Amino acid sequence: MTETKRIKPINDKSMLYALCSMLLIIAVDQITKGYFLYLLTGGIPLYGRAFDIVPFPFLMSRVTSFFNFVFTWNPGTSFSLFRNLGEAAPLALIVITGVIIGFFAHMLYKSKDRWERVALTLIVGGALGNLVDRIRFGAVVDFLDFHYAGWHWPAFNFADICITAGVMVFIAHWIFRKK
């Protein structure tokens, strides 16, 4: 007779942890972006069209031989995909992002697996952080730039780090759960 593994049922405490973690991710993301915008513009704009918010003369701050702070508006999705959708892009991406967030939030609510919940919390929290930018500005603030020998990884932000980490946890958990 095979022994079945019992999965702990969802409880209110774990959902509360997920919600608090998402709020923390959104807060850290918005604070880092706000601080960066403050350094570049001398103020923290609450809303406006992204490309109308002009920073001081562009300063790229070299931190190390492989890392810079840069300023870029990303009107597309991850890695600047879909940035050429035209005038409808901001609204279309807000709607698409909202639907995707809803799907992952539903998965999070239904999940009974701890690591799956951690992964989905990171993904939803990061996506919500970027969604706030899309609603406020029509584009996302990206400012972290890693490079090597003239090759630059696309600029990103804290929310992107959370989304990427969440996807990595989700994939790793899926692989190891199968074994």
Catalytic residue chosen out of the listed positions 29, 133, 145, 160: 160
29, 133, 142, 145: the catalytic one is 142
Closest CA to 21 of 116, 123, 145: 123
Nearest to 147 by CA among 73, 64, 74, 57: 64
Tokens in use for 134? Answer: 């899309």
Closest residue by Cα to residue 111 from 8, 1, 38, 2: 8
Rounded distance between C-alpha atoms, residue 179 and residue 74, angstroms: 39
Q: First CA to last CA across the chain, in angstroms?
A: 20
Alpha-carbon distances of 83 from 22, 76, 80, 178, rounded to whole Å: 26, 4, 6, 37
Is 142 catalytic? The answer is: yes
Active site residue 160: yes
Report the alpha-carbon distance of residue 122 to residue 85 in Å, rounded: 27
Q: Which helix (H) or strand (E) holds 115?
A: helix 114-137
Catalytic residues: 142, 160
